[in-house]
Amino acid sequence: MGLLDLFSKKKHIRIKHKKYEFELFDCPGRWMERNKLEELQQRMISIAVARLKTKPSFSFFTDINLLKNKLVTICSDGNTDCAFNAMTYIGNYKNRKVVHLGVACSTKEDKGLMQLTYLWICLYLMIHNNFRQIYISSMTHTPKIFGSIAESFSNVFPKAAHNESPMQFHLDVKNILMDTYLKEWDLPTTSVVGKNFTIKGFRIQKDGTILYPDTSETVPKHRKDKYSKYCLENINYEEGDEILQVGTMKATDFLKNLKIFKKGQ
């Protein structure tokens, strides 16, 4: 069975890449037995706790039923899980899937494993959608990730471009996200996406602490100054702001990111 057949016919896939194994799960909450689903949830919790030193209190971390709309990739080094990615199907727009790139976490951030979890699941999505365009969204406060999204996908807003403004689909996908994924977060106040797609105080939790408490000094910067400058000018790190990006995923985007497969040393 070729790679295309494997990706198009299964909901659970194992892939060996260098010394790592990647497992892909498509909407596991719809087909996995309860005990297996709990094991999957715990694997992601364990990676997050190892990285963040605390258990996140949102989405599938606390409500296992929210794994019904997730695309999960877990990376393992031998018997040890070391990275995961959990994307979310949030709806359809003009007869195309809309996918939020979701949550990613790695205990080996210098190995490029988070990027590999993204790339494998993007390939899966492309194959499952017959290489048709998919609408994507992403939220981050990290210039490094902000720049990566701007460069890895198409028609992205915002992307730190001169005099940029959102197209209609950016606004429509933003509204879909607000009606779906943002409701998976147990926040003290309702999140509102501003005109420049900044979400004020999004990372403030009910106990007053800030999830991923970076500062403008400690947050990972992008190699290109324009992305770091944009984030530092538009995000208030002390108040837990986040920034939304919306764009499209095309087959050509996957091809231009093939160099990521060199990672995972």
* Model pLDDT for residues 185-220, shown as the tens digit of each residue: 877 677 788 888 999 888 877 777 787 888 899 998
With 0-12 / 13-18 / 19 or more C-beta atoms within 10 angstroms meaning exposed / middle / buried, residue 258 is exposed
The confidence score (pLDDT) of residue 258 equals 67
Ordered by where they begin, the domains of the chain are 1-132 (3.40.630.30), 137-259 (no CATH)
The confidence score (pLDDT) of residue 8 equals 61
What is the C-alpha separation between 41 and 110, in angstroms, rounded? 24
Higher pLDDT, 34 or 163: 34
Higher pLDDT, 257 or 168: 168
The confidence score (pLDDT) of residue 201 equals 84
Average pLDDT score over residue span 248-259: 81
Does residue 84 have a pLDDT over 70? yes
Give the count of beta carbons closer than 10 Å to the beta carbon of residue 35: 8
Higher pLDDT, 208 or 141: 141
Confidence band of 163 (pLDDT split at 50, 70, 90): confident
- The pTM assigned to this predicted structure is 0.91
The confidence score (pLDDT) of residue 111 equals 66
Average pLDDT score over residue span 219-244: 93
Q: Which residue has the tokens 């403008």?
A: 216
Higher pLDDT, 93 or 191: 93
The confidence score (pLDDT) of residue 206 equals 74
Does residue 241 have a pLDDT over 70? yes
Higher pLDDT, 56 or 101: 101
Give me the percent of the chain exceeding a pLDDT of 90: 60
Average pLDDT score over residue span 103-120: 84
DSSP-based three-state secondary structure for 214: coil
Give the type of residue at 143: P
The confidence score (pLDDT) of residue 7 equals 63
What is the C-alpha separation between 20 and 147, in angstroms, rounded? 26
What is the C-alpha separation between 63 and 70, in angstroms, rounded? 12
Average pLDDT score over residue span 9-28: 90
Average pLDDT score over residue span 97-124: 87
Does residue 142 have a pLDDT over 70? yes
Mean per-residue pLDDT over the chain, rounded: 89
Confidence band of 224 (pLDDT split at 50, 70, 90): very high
Asked if 43 contacts 84 with a C-beta cutoff of 8 angstroms, the reply is yes
What are residue 81's DSSP bridge partners? 76
Does residue 5 have a pLDDT over 90? no
The confidence score (pLDDT) of residue 6 equals 57
Question: In the Cβ-directed half-sphere of 232, how many Cα atoms lie within 13 Å?
Answer: 14
Give the type of residue at 170: H
